Amino acid sequence: MYKLFVMLNIALFGPPGAGKGTQSEFLISKYNLFYISTGDLLRKEIAGKTRLGMEAQSSIASGGLVSDEIIVQIIEKTITDNPDSNGFLFDGFPRTYIQAYILEGLMLKLNTSLNCLISLTVPEEESVTRLLNRGKTSGRSDDNETVIRNRLKEYNEKTLPVLQFYRDKGIFEEVNGIDSIENVNLSITEIIQRELSKSLFNIVLFGYPGSGRGSQGKALAKEFGLEYVATGAMLGEEIASHSETGRKITELYENGQLVPDEIVVQLIEKKLADSKGVKGFIFKGFPRTLVQSYILDGLLKKYGSSISKIIEIEVPTLELISRLDERSKTTHCMPYDNSTAKIVKRLQEHETKTVPVIEKYNQLHGVIKINGQGTFGEVFMRISAAMESGVKNLR
Ligand code: AP5
Ligand code: MG
């Protein structure tokens, strides 16, 4: 099982006394993040007199860094024990180049990644002053001048070079740490809000033909400010625009052939690339096959995104047939359901090709089943409620 809604993973970076711990307190409650401070975890191990604690004790007492081997053990357990959190806030990790790689691996394991590393800059003398001050009440063995100086030396030699790793990745952010606690708060919040607005909210909407997925999808897209992606309609638009692809599609239709995935993929990819600044997408009528489900995963991944929620509208078969039959007698009649034989064929297609996709998704992420009976408004309310739960915490 991996996360369906987007995680927010942030690392706070900076020299001892920069205010990482102070800022973390407000960030974890505001964004509902799981807090991981390697310093706190180590101090807990020491207090519990565990094997790891005993090994770490002397390094901490002298102001040196604890070995990467010890760090990986305490952090791996904490992360893998909490895969369902909204995201992680790392304080004081990664502190070495090796730890930056460790973090990459751990995030990959949860099928997520670090959004950004925020570095609090503070001059050395300010660090020393603050920590000596904190030492009056903190009871921390390392809050004394000799050790503080040594921690700063370790920071400059081993930790500062880590920044290059994040500069290269393009997820490095800097904040002036000598401003007031409130102003530093504001600068960090600004960065995080920007991050949040980057992450897309993507819905896949399933349902048998006649379940209302099309009309609901369009209305939901409007309500939530998402882009509606319906591959059937996109093929139609290509034909209407007389584009090169449109001509190819017409040819296939005329020969009674299926439109190959290559064409559909190109159209969706174009849609994703052209949709700058959108909050996310609602996919309807795609993926229809297992192959297409892998394609969608790959496409979203390419854009640094993933599926946020999968929803299936359920309607009993007899009602589907009666709804499609009703529609075929009106001006809304679709060319693909103007006869009983065609309607049955479409229902069967869904059954054999798309139901396995829904089952696969259900095993991987869980599919939210919505009762599709009742008025349009009733069904709309049910789906809206399902879409809102789970994202609220982050936005
Ligand atoms: P750790 O506990 O992680 O120390 P740290 O978090 O780096 O440093 P501090 O806690 O001293 O500073 P902070 O930035 O959190 O500042 P704070 O908010 O408290 O590490 C301890 C030891 O564990 C290390 O030396 C190492 O041995 C080991 N270790 C830990 N992680 C490791 C890892 N990944 N790899 C290897 N070894 C590891 O603020 C400080 C003071 O300033 C407070 O009194 C606060 O009130 C005040 N203050 C905060 N902000 C402001 C502001 N804006 N204006 C004025 N005062 C402020
Ligand atoms: Mg701290």
Per-residue pLDDT reduced to its tens digit, 19-70: 999 999 999 999 889 999 999 999 999 999 999 999 999 999 999 999 999 9
Is any atom of ligand 1 closer than 6 Å to the C-beta of 151?
yes
d(CA 61, CA 54): 11
Query: Is residue 245 in some structural domain?
Result: no
Query: Is residue 175 in some structural domain?
Result: yes
Q: Is 213 exposed, middle or buried (0-12, 13-18, 19+ CB in 10 A)?
A: buried
Statement to judge: residues 118 and 215 lie in one domain: no
Statement to judge: residues 176 and 222 lie in one domain: no
Asked which of 180, 198, 216 is the last residue of a domain, the reply is 198
Statement to judge: residues 225 and 181 lie in one domain: no
34-37 and 116-121 beta bridge pairing? unpaired
Is any atom of ligand 1 closer than 6 Å to the C-beta of 15?
no
* Mean pLDDT of the 256-275 span: 86
Is any atom of ligand 1 closer than 6 Å to the C-beta of 130?
yes
Is any atom of ligand 1 closer than 6 Å to the C-beta of 211?
no
Residue closest via CA to ligand 1's atom 49 equals 19
pLDDT at residue 343 greater than cutoff 90? no
342/353: higher pLDDT: 353
Asked which of 181, 198, 215 is the last residue of a domain, the reply is 198
Asked if residue 184 lies in contact with residue 119, where contact means CB atoms within 8 angstroms, the answer is no
Is any atom of ligand 1 closer than 6 Å to the C-beta of 11?
no
What number does the ligand 1 atom closest to the CA of 94 have? 34
Quote the number of domains for the chain.
2
Statement to judge: residues 147 and 287 lie in one domain: no
Statement to judge: residues 215 and 130 lie in one domain: no
Is any atom of ligand 1 closer than 6 Å to the C-beta of 65?
yes
DSSP 304-323: T----EEEEEE--HHHHHHH
d(CA 317, CA 336): 18
User: What pLDDT was estimated at residue 2?
Assistant: 30
pLDDT at residue 349 greater than cutoff 70? yes
6 CB-side CA count, 13 A:
25
**Residue 330: band (very low, low, confident or very high) from pLDDT cuts 50, 70, 90:** confident
Statement to judge: residues 216 and 114 lie in one domain: no
User: What pLDDT was estimated at residue 390?
Assistant: 52
Asked which of 147, 181, 198 is the last residue of a domain, the reply is 198
What percentage of the chain has pLDDT greater than the value 70? Answer: 95
d(CA 100, CA 251): 53
Least confident of 78-87, 208-217, 307-316: 78-87
Query: Is residue 59 in some structural domain?
Result: no
pLDDT at residue 1 greater than cutoff 90? no
84/25: higher pLDDT: 25
> Backbone phi, then psi, for 289, in 5-degree steps?
-130, 165
Is any atom of ligand 1 closer than 6 Å to the C-beta of 218?
no
Statement to judge: residues 162 and 175 lie in one domain: yes
Query: Is residue 50 in some structural domain?
Result: no
Statement to judge: residues 298 and 354 lie in one domain: yes
For residue 2, the tally of other CB atoms under 10 A from its CB is: 12
Statement to judge: residues 211 and 157 lie in one domain: no
Query: Is residue 62 in some structural domain?
Result: no
Distances (CA, A) of 379 to 154, 371, 387, 389: 60, 7, 12, 16
Query: Is residue 253 in some structural domain?
Result: no
What percentage of the chain has pLDDT greater than the value 90? Answer: 65
CATH number at residue 147: 3.40.50.300
* Mean pLDDT of the 117-145 span: 94
pLDDT at residue 336 greater than cutoff 70? no
Statement to judge: residues 181 and 308 lie in one domain: no
272/359: higher pLDDT: 359
Instruction: Quote the DSSP letter at residue 331.
Output: T
What number does the ligand 1 atom closest to the CA of 14 have? 14
Which ligand is nearest the CA of 93, by number? 1
Going from the Cα of 342 to the center of ligand 2, the distance in angstroms, rounded, reads: 66
Average pLDDT, the chain: 90
* Mean pLDDT of the 370-380 span: 96
pLDDT at residue 332 greater than cutoff 80? no
Query: Is residue 234 in some structural domain?
Result: no
Statement to judge: residues 94 and 129 lie in one domain: yes
User: What pLDDT was estimated at residue 6?
Assistant: 63
* Mean pLDDT of the 354-360 span: 95
User: What pLDDT was estimated at residue 394?
Assistant: 39
10-13 and 34-37 beta bridge pairing? unpaired
Overall size of the chain counted in residues? 395
> Residue 65 has which token pair?
């860094």
pLDDT at residue 3 greater than cutoff 60? no
User: What pLDDT was estimated at residue 5?
Assistant: 52
330/238: higher pLDDT: 238
Which domain, by its residues, includes 333? Answer: 201-229+278-393
Query: Is residue 70 in some structural domain?
Result: no
Which ligand is nearest the CA of 148, by number? 1
* Mean pLDDT of the 161-178 span: 96
| Closest by Cα among 242, 235, 314 to 268 | 235
Residue 232 CB partners (closer than 8 Å, separation 6+): 285
Which ligand is nearest the CA of 40, by number? 1
Statement to judge: residues 300 and 359 lie in one domain: yes
> Backbone phi, then psi, for 199, in 5-degree steps?
-80, 130
Least confident of 127-136, 281-290, 301-310: 301-310
**Residue 204: band (very low, low, confident or very high) from pLDDT cuts 50, 70, 90:** very high
